[in-house]
Amino acid sequence: MSVSAIREAWQESTKRQRRGKLALREELQFYLFISPWLVGFILFTAGPILASLVLSMTDWSVLKKPDFVGLANYVTMFTSDPYFFKVLGNTIYYAGLSVPLGIVLAFMISVLLNQKLVGITLFRTFFYLPSLVTGVAVAVLWAWLLNPQFGLINHGLRLLGIEGPEWLYNTKTAMPAMIVMSLWGIGGTMLTYLAGLQGIPEHLYEAAEIDGAGAVSKFFNVTIPLMTPVIFFNLIVAIIGSFQTFTQFYVMTNGGPANATLVYVLYLYRNAFEYFKMGYASALAWVLFFLILALTVVQFYLAPRWVYYEGDLARR
């Protein structure tokens, strides 16, 4: 009796050992498989984050040795940099208009495109196609469209008897022009809405109809509440993207006229790669990061007030 018990215990322990060995092997394999990312993370993310933090507390122009200056860069930014608040204001102006306008416009178009109509696939392609034109190509195209003398937009206005403004050459119209351009590329946002709209179960609309809801009531009481998670997602992505906008501004206006379109990342780029103020540029990067983080956190904090998740029992 006792012998068999011992044997059992012994077998159990070897089994556990074997399992332990297997688990260890699996663990090793795990680290082997993720090693590309792990190396990349250490070299290109974690390391640079630490380096950037240190750099942001130095005065460094690449050629000289860095001087440690503590928080002086951050103090300069908020007290004596003549451009910082201008740049921040420009970025908020751009984000504050392009994001909500883009979100609403893309939503309205996606509702139109969600109908069962003949040729609807073709219309979807038409609205999506412009968003494939990105980067420098969209900048080059819109600089041409906005050309005060020969651009299509002012040609069109002339047909209506209006002499169009100088768009990118006027401090008042440059930023609005950039915002309008950003709306041209909302195709991607539109597609995420469309996918969301197609995921709304038909029976909810039927139930609403039985309760006597008309089209308008169905839209506001079924469509919009069920779409709030998608709207929320797009809002977060759009805000982050709009604060990081660079290419179009660099190519089309390079910050002009009179710094009216000098946006955050463009200013950061100039500090780093034109004035070689690596320390100051790093500090700018950290402030940008915390701005984005703060905006995102605030949105997650506000989300429970308006974002509706199906199956969210806590709300009832």
Which positions from 281 through 300 interact with another protein, judged by CB under 8 A? Answer: 281-282, 284-286, 288-289, 292-293, 296
Stretch that binds another protein, among 4-12, 87-95, 268-276, 302-310 (CB under 8 A): 268-276
CA 94 – CA 177 distance, rounded (Å): 10
123 interacts with another protein by CB under 8 A = yes
In whole angstroms, the minimum distance from the beta carbon of 49 to another protein comes to 6
27 interacts with another protein by CB under 8 A = yes
Among 12, 19, 21, 47, binds another protein (CB under 8 A): 47
92 interacts with another protein by CB under 8 A = no
87 interacts with another protein by CB under 8 A = no
Binding mask 206-225 for another protein (x = CB under 8 A): ---------x----------
Q: Which positions from 182 through 201 interact with another protein, judged by CB under 8 A?
A: 184-185, 187-189, 191-192, 194-195
Among 10, 12, 20, 37, binds another protein (CB under 8 A): 37
In whole angstroms, the minimum distance from the beta carbon of 134 to another protein comes to 5
In the complex with another protein, the residue whose CB is nearer, 10 or 30, is 30
Q: Which residues of 206-243 are buried (b: 16+ CB within 10 A; e: fewer)?
A: eebeeeebeeeebeeebbeebbbebbbebbbebbeebb
In whole angstroms, the minimum distance from the beta carbon of 86 to another protein comes to 18
20 interacts with another protein by CB under 8 A = no
233 interacts with another protein by CB under 8 A = yes
Stretch that binds another protein, among 21-29, 80-88, 220-228, 303-311 (CB under 8 A): 21-29
In the complex with another protein, the residue whose CB is nearer, 100 or 135, is 135
Among 6, 49, 71, 302, binds another protein (CB under 8 A): 49
33 interacts with another protein by CB under 8 A = yes
Among 10, 30, 85, 300, binds another protein (CB under 8 A): 30
CA 229 – CA 242 distance, rounded (Å): 20
Q: Which positions from 239 through 258 interact with another protein, judged by CB under 8 A?
A: 240, 243-244, 246-247, 250-251
Q: What one-character-per-residue DSSP string does the chain give?
A: -HHHHHHHHHHHHHHHHHHHHHHHHHHHHHHHHTHHHHHHIIIIIIHHHHHHHHHTTEE--SSSPPEE-TTHHHHHHHHT-TTHHHHHHHHHHHHHHHHHHHHHHHHHHHHHHTS--TTHHHHHHHHHGGGG--HHHHHHHHHHHT-TTT-HHHHHHHHTT-----GGGSTTTHHHHHHHHHHHTTHHHHHHHHHHHHTS-HHHHHHHHHTT--HHHHIIIIIHHHHHHHHHHHHHHHHHHHHT--HHHHHHTTT-STTTT--HHHHHHHHHHTS--HHHHHHHHHHHHHHHHHHHHHHHHHHHHH---TT-GGG-
In whole angstroms, the minimum distance from the beta carbon of 116 to another protein comes to 10
